[in-house]
Chain A
Amino acid sequence: MLSEPGHYDYMPWRRRPRITWPNGARIAFWVAPNIEHYELDPPPNARRMPWTRPQPDVLGYSWRDYGNRVGLWRMADVMARHGVRGSVSLNVAVCDHYPEIIERCCELDWELFSHGTYNTRYFYGMNEDQQRAVIRENRETIKRASGQELDGWLTPAISNDETTQHLLAEEGIKYTLDMLHDDQPTPIKVRSGHLISIPYSLEINDVPLLAMRNTPPERFAAICKAQFDQLYEEGAESGTVMCMPLHPFLIGQPHRIKALDDVLRHVVRHDKVWLATGREIAAWYTEHHLAEAQSWIAAGTP
């Protein structure tokens, strides 16, 4: 076993080379709807059982299913109203199960990136060939369903194994979301190829907040706004990133959707915000800031 991921160097928050975003924005704000399918009868994985109750776990399954039937449609409307695009963390089998959803995402000019095939198929224990096969198949399916290239990656249920990041780079993935070590994009060290990390979040994320920490909707909105306000302020010095990962089965419920509306209204009324997608943030950082960050690290973060 590894004692650490080993994918990034220490980069103190002070003295970093300054990051600038397009049009003088202080913060790149992006929303990542997790559009998922959890199988009713998935195979077991030695490191994690897909469901807490014996299969079929009707309560767990139907709760997630709510996201695809109801929640996604409701949250997409709210995001569209505020002119905020999504970067979809997509269980790629959704392209086959619910093409209507992919159609809606494309109509809204949302990015699709891979969140594996199903949220009930973990990477824990896969060998390299198996991981590679999933990544390749996901790339082809996204291309076929939407015409989009696959640039980003979040391992299903963040179940990455030790080699996953290396394989992502080798398979041409441009950015990974599996690591939570920063508020800015950072270079990722891989055995060959190139990969960067851009900030995802398990702090501003409706699963930990609403389902695990039992946060009521108004408090959820207040937490998201506090996160934004601080990163907006710090972004005056050097550009920051705020990701808002969401799950339609939670945020898309009638008692919670107002909280999303409230947060987005707060965000878009600021003028120095770059409403970006994951792909756009990764491309900008790679083009304008990656080399400088790497030199700074090589020089010992002076």
Chain B
Amino acid sequence: MKGLPEDYLHYPHRRRGMDHEIYPYRALPAAKPVSWPNGARVALCIAVHMGHFPMDMPLKPFIAPGGMERPYPSYWDYTLRDYGNRIGVYRLMKSLAARSLPATALLSAVLARRYPALMDDLAGAQWEIACAGLDMGRLHHSGVALEEERATVQEAASLLRARFGAAVRGWHSPAHSESSHTLRLVAEAGFSFTTGWANDDMPYVMTTDAGRLICMPLSQDLSDQRMLHQQHLATEDFTNSILTAHETLDREAQETGSGRILVVPVTPWLMGVPHRIRAFNAMLDGIMARGNVWPASMGQIADLWRAQNPG
């Protein structure tokens, strides 16, 4: 009997550690303990997914969640996402400012060109700006030629740095999409941390041919985009899950003596709508009421982690 090609039973990467060279295996209990300012147990990072979704975005090889899921021209999808950058994000800014909480915007770079007024307001709010690629239609995958992908990364970095300068140090690939070159191109463009790999609760170091990157935790599973948009769950299912995650991480920090990180990924067109903003506020108040929280930007957390994890 014919069966599968012989090499289907060959495993060239079967060995100790990972099946790639990007980072070594490290179990969470083996992570070096870290300390946060003032003995805080949990670092709180609000990560705001500020995407721009072009109405003519390509639908292949896959559609970014929140992309044009209906036939062209989808005013439904386009305008609802755009709402986030007009209205929703301002609600989030107000909620966070009222609580003196920082945030990190994972920003489609074209927004710097499209909405300079919004950029001024983000700067005014002192949000950290991280680059989430050019826009949500420009995905990174193996079908993109290397030079084309390099140009995309460079253009995105330039657009944001022209407005915000060298403070733009973080990269998040749109929809967590990457080719096998993306990390190298991101390091080459001078970024120091990335958030694409949803495989840890703590930072770790990635190695590329163009230097190192710190991989910062950013959940996709526990995000408003996944839970509210893709899974159609209720607002409270998301906010309660965040509170439960905080409870777990806070307890682990006490038990292990190592700081933990709670990243709250929120999306202005989802969490910034009127019927959800009070639940968002209540969630933030619930986290802060527990105490021992260090509210920080992703870059601040990366820096402090790096200072305690040299080498």
| A contact set with B: CB distance below 8 Å | 37, 39-41, 43, 45, 52-56, 58-59, 62-63, 65-66, 68-70, 73-74, 93, 96-101, 117-118, 121, 125-130, 133-134, 214, 216-218, 250, 253-258
Contact = CB atoms under 8 A, between A and B. Distances in A.
A66 B199 contact: yes
Contact of B175 (A40, A54, A55, A59): A59
Contacts of B14: 93, 96-97, 117
5 contacts: A69-B28, A126-B4, A134-B9, A217-B244, A255-B241
Given A129-B3, A130-B8, A62 B197 contact: yes
B8 A56 contact: no
Given A43-B8, A254-B249, A53 B177 contact: yes
Contacts of B249: 254
B203 to A, nearest CB: 12
Interface residues of B, number: 61
A116 to B, nearest CB: 11
Contact of B11 (A56, A73, A117, A133): A117
Nearest to A100: B27
Contacts of B17: 97-98
B253 to A, nearest CB: 11
B114 interface: no
B248 interface: yes
B228 to A, nearest CB: 11
Given A56-B178, A69-B200, A43 B242 contact: no
A121 B5 CA distance: 12
Q: Which 10 A-B pairs have the closest CB atoms?
A: A127-B3, A214-B231, A62-B197, A254-B245, A255-B241, A65-B199, A254-B248, A59-B176, A127-B1, A255-B245
A66 B8 contact: no
Interface in B152-193: 173, 175-180
Contact of B25 (A69, A73, A118): A69
B62 interface: yes
A96 B15 contact: yes
A59 B4 contact: no
A54 B143 contact: yes
A250 B198 CA distance: 12
B20 A40 contact: yes
B142 A55 contact: yes
A257 B9 CA distance: 35
A101 B8 CA distance: 26
Nearest to A52: B62
B244 A37 contact: no
A216 B234 CA distance: 9
A246 to B, nearest CB: 15
A103 to B, nearest CB: 10
B303 interface: no
B197 A58 contact: yes
A58 B11 contact: no
A37 B8 CA distance: 16
A257 B252 CA distance: 12
Contacts of A39: 13, 19
A63 B221 CA distance: 8
B200 A130 contact: no
B28 to A, nearest CB: 5
Interface string B217-247: 0011110000000011110010011101111
Contacts of B143: 54
Contacts of B180: 56
A39 B148 CA distance: 27
Nearest to B173: A58
B201 interface: yes
Nearest to B144: A54
Contacts of B4: 45, 125-127, 130
B19 A40 contact: yes
A96 B196 contact: no
Given A56-B178, A93-B11, A254-B249, A216 B233 contact: yes
A37 B199 contact: no
Contacts of B246: 254
B18 interface: yes
A254 B197 CA distance: 17
B197 to A, nearest CB: 4
B195 to A, nearest CB: 11
B19 A63 contact: no
Contact of B177 (A37, A58, A127): A58
Contacts of B61: 53-54
Given A62-B198, A255-B222, A54 B141 contact: yes
Given A58-B176, A130-B3, A216 B15 contact: no
Contacts of A129: 1, 3
B70 interface: no
Given A66-B200, A100-B25, A257-B248, 13 more contacts: A41-B13, A43-B5, A52-B62, A54-B62, A55-B142, A58-B197, A70-B200, A73-B29, A93-B14, A97-B14, A127-B1, A253-B245, A256-B241
B2 interface: yes
B147 interface: no
B20 A70 contact: no
B302 to A, nearest CB: 18
